[in-house]
């Protein structure tokens, strides 16, 4: 179990889960209904199953590349802790469980489940032909808030779409920062990324522009939410402000000639930003 949790980096679920829960509670506030605990559990399970399938498939597909990259050769498959066949079976099991969970949510979620799986699994192929792979990863995680909203409302709406777009640019931006570590390796192995295609300095500029877009979308979404759910207010703004400050912080600590704090920016800063925003937004929606 420990090896499989490490394979899918289960702790990284914290990146998108708070936004999924925020989308869920936005829907409840718009609908004016109480908490459906079974539906909440199903939303969390959908998040876990989809993300587990995506991460395990990424590790399965990249097993040969990971084996020759000094940074990744200790991962579970190249290290022999989990066989490639077992990893693929794990992917298939999580895909099936995800589809089953969507069946119990509503018809729309069920029919859209193959589309969601195609996006989150398809990301693993994109680094082989386009430097836009970071955007595809962001698209996969951006399904969290809109998916949770659909689970409750059964229809699309503007506010969760804004938060989904914010997540897309946020994730794409911090994935560019993370990819700085593999710039030379990716270039020498014909793998595509923004750092390997444009260089470190230009990649950081592009990441900054993505996160500027995130900031504009977060503020716009907060304004729309305040107009739609009048009882929300200062906690939502504090959560949004903290998120944006931490977004700025990661750009201050990572430089093209100093990647020593990439992990601090990628894991710690983004995890704290997402968690604090989610907690404050949800408390505001519930009070």
Over residues 66-79, the pLDDT tens digits come to 999 988 888 889 98
**Once rounded to an integer, what is the mean pLDDT over residues 98-123?**
96
Over residues 198-247, the pLDDT tens digits come to 999 999 999 999 999 999 999 999 999 999 988 778 999 999 999 999 99
Domain interval for residue 214: 2-286
pLDDT mean across residues, the chain: 93
CB environment 21-52: b (16+ within 10 A), e (fewer): bbbbbbbbbbeeeeeeeebbebbbbbbbbbbb
Supply the pLDDT for residue 10: 66
Q: Is the pLDDT of residue 42 over 90?
A: yes
Which CATH number covers residue 167? 1.10.357.140
Contact partners, residue 283, CB within 8 Å, separation at least 6: 235
The reported pTM is 0.94
Q: What domain count does the chain have?
A: 1
């Amino acid at each position: 179990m420990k090896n499989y949790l490490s394979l899918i980096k289960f702790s990284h679920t914290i990146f998108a889960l708070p936004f999924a829960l925020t989308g869920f509670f936005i829907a409840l506030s718009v609908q004016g209904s109480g908490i459906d605990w079974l539906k909440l559990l199903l939303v969390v399970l959908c998040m876990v199953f989809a993300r587990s399938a995506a991460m395990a498939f990424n590790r399965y597909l990249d097993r040969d590349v990971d084996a020759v990259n000094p940074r990744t050769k200790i991962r579970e498959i190249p290290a022999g802790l989990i066989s490639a066949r077992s990893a693929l079976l794990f992917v298939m099991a999580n895909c099936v469980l995800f589809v089953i969970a969507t069946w119990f949510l509503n018809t729309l979620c069920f029919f859209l489940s193959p589309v969601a799986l195609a996006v989150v699994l398809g990301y693993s192929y994109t680094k082989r032909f386009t430097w836009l792979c970071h955007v595809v990863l962001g698209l996969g995680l951006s399904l969290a808030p809109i998916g949770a909203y659909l689970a409750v409302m059964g229809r699309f709406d503007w506010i969760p779409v804004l938060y989904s777009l914010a997540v897309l640019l946020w994730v794409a931006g911090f994935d560019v920062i993370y990819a700085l570590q593999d710039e030379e390796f990716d270039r020498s192995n014909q793998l595509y990324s923004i750092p390997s295609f444009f260089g470190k300095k230009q990649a950081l500029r592009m990441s900054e522009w993505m996160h500027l877009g995130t900031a504009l979308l977060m503020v716009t979404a907060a304004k729309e939410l305040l107009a739609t759910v009048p009882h929300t207010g200062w906690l939502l703004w504090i959560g949004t402000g903290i998120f944006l400050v931490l977004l700025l912080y990661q750009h201050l600590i990572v430089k093209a000639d100093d990647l020593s704090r990439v992990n601090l920016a990628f894991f710690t800063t983004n995890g704290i930003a997402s968690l604090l925003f989610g907690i404050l937004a949800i408390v505001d929606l519930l009070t």
